[in-house]
Structure 1
Amino acid sequence: MKIRYRTKRTSTRHHIYILLLLMIGFAHLSFWPTAQVAASTSRMAPMAVEQFAQQQVNALGASNPDWVAAKLEYFPLGPGTHSWLVHANIQDKRIGYLIISINAQGEFLLSEYGLGDHVLYSNDTLGQALERQNLNIDSLKAVGGKLSLQYAAPLLAYWKVEDANHSALYIDASNGDLLPSGILERLETNSGKQKLGFTEQNKLQEPQFKSSGKAPITSPVHLRPAFDPSLQLNWLTSEPLQPNQVEQEIQHSPASALVFSAGEHNLFYGGPLPVSGYQLWHTEKTSKDHTDPINKPGSGLDSDSVLYVGLGGLNSTQRFVPLNKLMYDGEFYLSRP
């Protein structure tokens, strides 16, 4: 009898143990999809990057409410650039993008942004570029190929397409043009960046809007007609504008035709490019601060303001980039009709 009692008791414990395992298993399955979805939305960028991106989106939403309503997608740029591409979407429509970087001091920077559905790193642009090379994503995957998004300040955004059987391809992410592989290979090394004259992020003189304790505010976007600099070539024989002239022309001469040129590096910037607008960013003022320079005409920028210049937009993506960042690597010219 004792043996039967022990056997019965052991069997009961065994059944209870199995029941507990099943309960725990069902509980785990009920939470797993939620945890999986949460991970998929944030694993591409740290929480601090997402918070900074949301702060910039809120500022842009002051003049375009679509930004606030948009869902953000994050894609790391690299390797080694410490940057992220952020696509802003409303349902299946893209309304713009951001590129967020980190400087040598660990501060977040808004390196550039764009408005509208013609954005950097478009899948359509990539597909068309690969088709011209008799390639497609499926064939690349089949041979163990690799595709990475790359970025170099101030305007070089590109895909690197690697195939074990061929040399790497470099494709401009703004227009799909094929870039010279030899120069890009040198660019990927520190010595190459210095020799080519491309701006290194740790050498930039605070040109971008940085992370701070105060929320940024923006002026409305001021647009001007885009044009094709290749059809108005008189700028080639003119002298480049001085820095103080550039700011004045952009903000207070909306009828003037301005061209940004990076000289021998135009191939990598999709240039020369027309100036097609601007927007001022500024740290939010407290009651003790001065008058907001965004609304103070003719006074120039104070130390907390950043002038983002819109480039392109006629035959290419319109990209808003800090003025100081552009002047580090290129010059502005006045095109006269």
Structure 2
Amino acid sequence: MSMIICFALLSIWPTAHAAAPTDRLAPASVEQFAQLQVNALGISNPDWLAAKLEYYPLGPGSHGWFVHAGIQDKPVGYMIISINPQGQLLLSEYGQGEHSLYNNELLGQALERQDLDMKILQTAGDKITRRYAAPLLAYWKVERVNHPALYIDASNGDLLPVDQLERIETGSGTKSFGLKELQQQIAIPDTTRFHTSPVILQPAFDPSSQLTWLTSEPLQPSQVKQQLQQNHREALVFSAEEWNLFYGGPLPVSGHQIWSVAGSMSDLYVGLGGLNSTQRFISLNKLLNDGHFYKINP
């Protein structure tokens, strides 16, 4: 079961989506939820406990927040906090270390490849906003006056196909929940204390340069857990098949971390990417629902 903790949204839902961080655009319940995740992550990495959290709403109607954790100018990690149709907050993904989603340097490089300058865009009145689309597509939307919008993958800086992103934004079927609807779906908060194990890392690689996995059968869920926990030195690839656009994949498995309560595993988060993209830790249950894992050497 994916680690989900439920909160009632007790303050007015934010509608602004400014690029600058602010604590005021996140409801108190989101901040409480974020702090619970920080407490858990801080057990294995004390830097989380000393970090300051900054909240960035992820576009209008997405009901998600990018939470940046840092100590002064040193990034500690990030979290994506989302809400499901039942009004439950969940940790969609997180990352640790200085490489984060929505990195301004990566954005600047992506814009330069399009012969654009970020400072000029901002002074010209153009908009650059963080966006997030289910299941796990993190991207920048660049809206220019009298020009088509640009969509840039926030994990690797790649330009995303305009037609598909426009369909996602206008017809994805993402339901918008108002405060009244959410209040009718209040669940009692789960205050159980979670623990995290140290992160187990393994070298990232480029799946496109080692194509033997394409000829192998996908691993069964029980095999994936066994590979991660017992044979973590063996290279694995995650492919979300038709959802690969949303993951920036196929991606190498580059680590994992166990979340537990009372000594028993509650969830396992898998690290994806890290070579040509940001390493992102995502719930194994979510990954198994969206795609398959393959061995490099079947």
- TM (norm. structure 1) is 0.74
Q: CA offsets, 1:221-274, max 9 Å, x none? A: 122222221221100111111222222211221121110012244344221111
User: Structure 2: how far apart are the matches of 1:101 and 1:191?
Assistant: 16
1:334 corresponds, among 269, 291, 295, to 295
Match of 1:324 in 2: 285
Structure 1 position 222 matched with structure 2 position 170 = no
Match of 2:184 in 1: none
Contact 1:107 1:211 in 2 (8 A): no
- The offset of 1:211, in angstroms, is 5.7
Superposition RMSD on alpha carbons, in Å?
A: 2.1
User: Structure 2: how far apart are the matches of 1:89 and 1:44?
Assistant: 18
User: Structure 2: how far apart are the matches of 1:255 and 1:130?
Assistant: 37
User: Structure 1: how far apart are the matches of 2:245 and 2:29?
Assistant: 34
Where in structure 2 are the equivalents of 1:1-337 lying within 5 Å? Answer: 41-191=22-172, 212-282=190-260, 284-285=261-262, 292-294=263-265, 305-336=266-297
User: Structure 2: how far apart are the matches of 1:162 and 1:326?
Assistant: 31
User: Structure 1: how far apart are the matches of 2:172 and 2:92?
Assistant: 22
Contact 2:271 2:281 in 1 (8 A): yes
Flag structure 1 segments of 5+ consecutive residues without an equivalent.
1-39, 194-209, 286-291, 295-304
Residue identity over aligned pairs, in percent, reads 67
Q: Highest Rg: 1 or 2? A: 1
User: Structure 1: how far apart are the matches of 2:114 and 2:236?
Assistant: 35
Larger relative contact order (C-alpha < 8 A, sep ≥ 6)? Answer: 2
Match of 1:298 in 2: none
User: Structure 1: how far apart are the matches of 2:147 and 2:103?
Assistant: 24
Q: CA offsets, 1:47-103, max 9 Å, x none? A: 111111111111111111111111111100122111100111111011110011112
Count of paired positions? 266
Contact 1:223 1:277 in 2 (8 A): yes
Question: Any idea what SS the aligned residue of 2:44 has?
Answer: coil
Flag structure 2 segments of 5+ consecutive residues without an equivalent.
1-20, 175-187
Contact 1:77 1:85 in 2 (8 A): yes
User: Structure 2: how far apart are the matches of 1:89 and 1:132?
Assistant: 29
Contact 2:137 2:245 in 1 (8 A): no
- TM (norm. structure 2) is 0.83
